[in-house]
Structure 1
Amino acid sequence: MQNLPPRVKKVWFLSTMVQLLILIIIAGGYVWLTNNVSWAPKWGLSVIGFIIVVIIGFELALIPYRYRFHQFAVNETEVEIKNGFFFRSHVSIPIARVQNVDINQGPLLRTQKLFEVDIATGGSTHSIDGLNRNDADRVKERVMQLALEAKNAQ
């Protein structure tokens, strides 16, 4: 099994900061609500603040563990993707079922020059997030080559 590049931790950190920004905007909306309507309780902001601290603290604390449990492997018969710390998942995608492989890059991945490889089958799409450009190209080419060979063998 192969680990993701360490730079993916920065992407996860940035993602948590975006979540924090959204939660702060929600808290700001609640402050506006308490100032403009009489039925909104003032103590609600304390509850929202506590929830924000717990969620963001939990997300930040789990980044090293999340990194440790994200792995993938490509072999002749399947693509394996393992992830999750509390709720672990181990997905095995048979090579013969692969229909398409795409490489994508969102704004947070772009900040670290990382890419996401999406492997599509008939029923679903599975992602390997946070690969270097060379690794993403290599995974895509390898999976597509193996999928073509498997389809030709049938």
Structure 2
Amino acid sequence: MSDVGGGPVLREPANRVSPQAVPFWTVSALLGDAAVVIAAAAAYFFIPDVPGWVGLVVLLIGVLAIAHVVLMPRIRFRVHRWEVTDTAVHTREGWIGRTSRIAPISRVQTVDSRQGALMRLFGLSSITVTTASAAGPITVDCLDADTARHVVARLTAITAASEDDAT
């Protein structure tokens, strides 16, 4: 934090996610968007007596899908950041909107890691920090798998050393 105009200003988290996040998000978006485009095109071509304007809708869906696959991963990579300190876990994420979350270490209850099949292909893992908060857990997606293991170990050590109860 720094002071600007008489009040504290929150700085952005220090660390980016893995560069492998870009191809991972691209493939994930491609798989999901391809299913939608194929379903829309199949409906258009195989359902009898479909109005002509539906073809324009299918085309628009295709164009939006391409834009999503091309733009979203790069924007997310520029935005997504994370940081773990001895006092807090801080994340920022989003690609259209932005969400920043900060959880004091004293509120951390559990630390989990996850690595799905597609993430494993890209050498990525995600960590989820569950806190005593109504806002829900904090997730850091697309960390290099080794980095994720180190972060989980560090958070475990920090929270074990904390005298506060995370309730």
Same fold (TM over 0.5): yes
The structure with the largest strand share of the pair is 2
> Is the deviation greater in 72-81 or in 100-109?
100-109
Question: What SS does structure 1 have at the residue aligned with 2:47?
Answer: helix
Partner Cα separation in structure 2 for residue 45 and residue 126 of structure 1: 41
Contact 2:23 2:73 in 1 (8 A): no
Match of 2:155 among 140, 143, 146: 143
Match of 1:26 in 2: 39
Where has structure 1 moved over 6 Å in runs of 4 or more? Answer: none
Segments of structure 2 that go 5 or more residues without pairing to the other structure are 1-13
Structure richer in helix, relative to its length:
1
Q: CA RMSD in A?
A: 1.9
Amino acid of the structure 2 residue aligned with 1:143: L
2:71 counterpart residue number: 61
Q: How much does 1:29 deviate?
A: 4.0
Q: Distance in 2 between matches of 1:10 and 1:113?
A: 11
Partner of 1:104: 114
1:32-111 equivalences under 5 Å are 34-35=47-48, 38=49, 40-111=50-121
What is the TM-score of this pair, normalised by structure 2?
0.80
Say whether the 8 Å CA contact 2:29–2:68 is kept in structure 1.
no
1:91 and 1:133 map into 2 onto residues whose CA distance is 22
How far apart are 1:153 and its partner, in Å? 4.7
Give the CA deviation at 1:33: 5.4
Task: Tell me, in whole angstroms, the C-alpha distance in 2 between the residues paired with 1:32 and 1:59.
Answer: 24
Aligned to 2:146, the other structure's residue is in SS state helix
Distance 1:27 1:101 in 2: 40
Deviation at 1:31, TM superposition (A): 2.4
1:8 is aligned with what amino acid? A
1:153/1:19 CA distance change after superposition, 3 Å: closer
Structure 1's unaligned 5+ residue stretches are none
Please point out which of 83, 106, 123 is paired with 1:113.
123
Percent identical residues? 25
